[in-house]
Amino acid sequence: MSQAESETKLSPVEGIKETSDYLRGSIAEELAQPTDAFAKPTTQLIKFHGSYQQDDRENRDRSVEGKKSTKDYIFMVRCRMPGGRLTSHQLVSLLEIGEELANSTVRLTTRQGVQFHGVKKDGLRPTIRRINEIALSTKNACGDVCRNVMATPVPIKKPYYDEVQRLADSLALRFEAKSKGYYEIWLRDPDGAAPDLLVGGTEEEDVEPIYGKVYLPRKFKIVVGFAFDNSVDLYAHEIGLMAIVQDEKIIGYNVIVGGSFGVTPANKKTFPAVGKRMCFVTPDQVEEVCEAIVKVQRDFGNREDRKLARMKYLIASWGLERFRSKVEEYYGAALADCHAEDVTGHDDGMGWREQGDGKFFYGLNVENGRLYDDEKIRWKAAIREICAKYDCPVRITPHQSLIFCDLPAEARQVIYDILDRQGVPRTESISTVRRWSMACVALPTCGLAITESERALPEIISELEPKLTELGLENETFTVRSTGCPNGCARPYNSDVGIVGKAKDRYTLFLGGSVLGHRLNFIYKDLVPRETLVDEIAYVLAYFKQHRDGGESFGDFCARKGKDDLLAWTAEKFPAANGKA
């Protein structure tokens, strides 16, 4: 009897994984059929290969051949690149793939990855092949495995910056799913017209030494960053590795465990969590300790209820001490307590900067990560010109933006000219609040979106900008993160301002997080209509302006005052704010 059958309460996805022959299932057979969608169990499996079956949610009323049709199926394809690193050639090729096989846009993600939208079922194999041809992959981008490993993207030429990028690569390799099903399905041309891109042959039996047959209970996320640069949001993932630098060398890592943000408000057992500081490990220990943590979650994480399957729930039910003991048992030795260091900064890498070796980098703020060309703004054209001219390394940041690296001094004006000609806003020309904002994808592709996010945030920021200027707060740095549902893909639960879709055109407004990302914010008001959202934020900003303590940040101010005080003050000063929640 299979494991799935013997434990009747396992979630259906566990059964699908177990009987899939290491993630193959019937993907290949269904790909060969002239249908526009996969059967339900297969939609679960293709996630492990980097794709989600979606439908164009704005095309649900269409009729095909006179009949009310089924959904207009499209696929999201996600590729991952540890630490967000790309070559110019790869970036330009991704733009081409987006144009030829997807909806012509390319989406930079909050985990330093890239997504395509609008791929058709018969375009999936060509898309995934093309991605592999440029030495990128869609493996481990989605599914119950370790996802894209993030790392501090700023290309400062110091050995310890390179070291965190190397660690991200090494962890990505260690935790890559080993099943050859991926290669068989996507990289072997069934018609034999194109060469096999198979790697490693297919004869041996598949072995997943870390994951086993049923992989992990749920997605698992690892990031590597610094206390002085927490751009990767060390506290928001299953494992945050905080590199401790002394005398220009990494002496080890504080290991932060059990962060993650998904929450289902109707299910009171779910919650967003910032990670807990568990232990300090040396560079020699770090990978093995990560493996021990992954295996503990593999063996003890909840496989019955996917809503409670992230590692934070295991830690919440066991307590940190018991969890740590189990990790020590799996690792085979006791672990040291955390180094005292904690987060102190966040470098978003934007603008023109010297990188430490006489060369420069330019951080280009891409609003909500969407690369497109239209009459006004031609992101893709600008990127193509910059990449053709400098053939430079590129990095995607955890704030959905791009950094062009290794540039000569004279590139500054050349890049400005290119951006100006293509209508792309220079990073230096956009407001501070826009620069520090980000939104998840949401409508029209995300199947879980309740309301707008990526398409709504630019306007929300445009409304907020004059209010900030009126208050003299236009240079104030605070994060504004928006999502179209409570799943938290733009990490809205540790930002200064979190705007989370709750019902159509209504948002939960969170306040009191911080640019440093080390604490959760709190619900300030729920179900705020879109049209009063900016006013609600502006009322609190007015309070902040008048009563902040010295250089206190907006998030710190809100956290210090607390919800009741903020509500009382704004209700008194701005009667319009009353009763809106």
Q: Compute CA distances 208 → 144, 303, 310, 476, whole Å.
A: 13, 18, 20, 49
Shortest reach from residue 75's CB to ligand SF4, in Å? 15
User: Using a CB cutoff of 8 Å and minimum separation of 24, what contacts does 313-318 make?
Assistant: 313/269, 314/258, 315/257, 315/258, 315/276, 316/258, 316/273
Out of 51, 88, 115, 397, name the contact with ligand SRM by CB under 6 A.
115
Out of 491, 502, 518, 580, name the contact with ligand SRM by CB under 6 A.
491
Shortest reach from residue 487's CB to ligand SF4, in Å? 4
The partner in contact with residue 499, picked from ligand SF4, ligand SRM, none with C-beta cut-offs of 5 to 8 angstroms by kind, is: none
- Work out the burial of residue 18: count CB atoms within 10 Å of its CB; fewer than 13 is exposed, 13-18 middle, 19 or more buried: middle
Residue whose beta carbon is closest to ligand SRM: 262
Out of 302, 368, 401, 487, name the contact with ligand SF4 by CB under 6 A.
487
> Is residue 489 at the binding interface for ligand SF4, with CB under 6 A as the rule?
yes
Shortest reach from residue 109's CB to ligand SRM, in Å? 3
> Is residue 446 at the binding interface for ligand SF4, with CB under 6 A as the rule?
yes
Q: Which is nearer to ligand SRM, 210 or 441 (CB)?
A: 441
Residue 528 near residue 581, CB atoms below 8 Å: yes
Shortest reach from residue 499's CB to ligand SF4, in Å? 11
H helix count then E strand count, the chain: 18, 22
Q: Which residues of 120-146 are buried (b: 16+ CB within 10 A; e: fewer)?
A: ebebbbbbbbbbbebebbbbbbbbbbb
Half-sphere exposure of 225 (CA within 13 A, CB side): 33
409 residue type, one letter? A
> Is residue 441 at the binding interface for ligand SF4, with CB under 6 A as the rule?
yes
- Convert residues 509-548 into a mask of x (bound to ligand SF4 by CB under 6 A) and - (unbound): ----------------------------------------
Q: Which residues of 202-234 are buried (b: 16+ CB within 10 A; e: fewer)?
A: eeeeeeeebbbbbbbbbbbbbbbbbbebbbbbb
Structure tokens at 301: 């994480």
Q: Which positions from 229 through 288 interact with ligand SRM, judged by CB under 6 A? A: 236, 260-262
The partner in contact with residue 485, picked from ligand SRM, ligand SF4, none with C-beta cut-offs of 5 to 8 angstroms by kind, is: ligand SF4
Q: Compute CA distances 251 → 46, 332, 400, 565, whole Å.
A: 40, 21, 30, 43
Shortest reach from residue 394's CB to ligand SF4, in Å? 24
Parallel, antiparallel or unpaired: strands 506-511 and 497-503: antiparallel
Shortest reach from residue 456's CB to ligand SRM, in Å? 13
The partner in contact with residue 262, picked from ligand SRM, ligand SF4, none with C-beta cut-offs of 5 to 8 angstroms by kind, is: ligand SRM
Q: Which is nearer to ligand SF4, 242 or 441 (CB)?
A: 441
Out of 437, 445, 553, 570, name the contact with ligand SRM by CB under 6 A.
445
The partner in contact with residue 484, picked from ligand SF4, ligand SRM, none with C-beta cut-offs of 5 to 8 angstroms by kind, is: ligand SF4
> Is residue 483 at the binding interface for ligand SF4, with CB under 6 A as the rule?
yes
> Is residue 142 at the binding interface for ligand SF4, with CB under 6 A as the rule?
no
Out of 25, 98, 113, 225, name the contact with ligand SRM by CB under 6 A.
113
| Measured distance CA(53)–CA(160) in Å, rounded | 40
Q: Which is nearer to ligand SF4, 397 or 453 (CB)?
A: 453
Shortest reach from residue 482's CB to ligand SRM, in Å? 10
Parallel, antiparallel or unpaired: strands 437-439 and 480-483: parallel
Q: How many angstroms from the chain centroid is the CA of residue 529?
A: 26
Q: Which is nearer to ligand SRM, 109 or 137 (CB)?
A: 109
> Is residue 487 at the binding interface for ligand SRM, with CB under 6 A as the rule?
yes
Residue 137 near residue 46, CB atoms below 8 Å: no
Radius of gyration of the CA atoms of the chain, in A:
24
Quick one: which segment of 126-134, 444-452, 527-535, 555-563 binds ligand SRM (CB under 6 A)? 444-452
- Convert residues 37-76 into a mask of x (bound to ligand SRM by CB under 6 A) and - (unbound): ---------------x-x---------------------x
DSSP annotation string for 63-117: EETTEEP---EEEEEEEB-GGGEE-HHHHHHHHHHHHHHSSS-EEE-TTS-EEEE
Structure tokens at 340: 């005292």
**3-state SS assignment for residue 366:** coil
Q: Which is nearer to ligand SF4, 15 or 259 (CB)?
A: 259
> Is residue 440 at the binding interface for ligand SRM, with CB under 6 A as the rule?
yes
> Is residue 221 at the binding interface for ligand SRM, with CB under 6 A as the rule?
yes
Residue 441 near residue 489, CB atoms below 8 Å: yes
Query: What is the helix (H) or strand (E) element at residue 406, kind and residue range?
Result: strand 402-407
> Is residue 236 at the binding interface for ligand SF4, with CB under 6 A as the rule?
no
Structure tokens at 102: 């997807």
> Is residue 453 at the binding interface for ligand SF4, with CB under 6 A as the rule?
yes
Q: Which is nearer to ligand SF4, 143 or 488 (CB)?
A: 488
Binding site for ligand SRM (CB under 6 A): 52, 54, 76, 78, 109-111, 113, 115, 141, 147-148, 221, 236, 260-262, 310, 369, 400, 440-441, 445-448, 487-491
Residues making contact with ligand SF4 (CB under 6 A): 440-442, 446, 448-449, 453, 483-485, 487-489
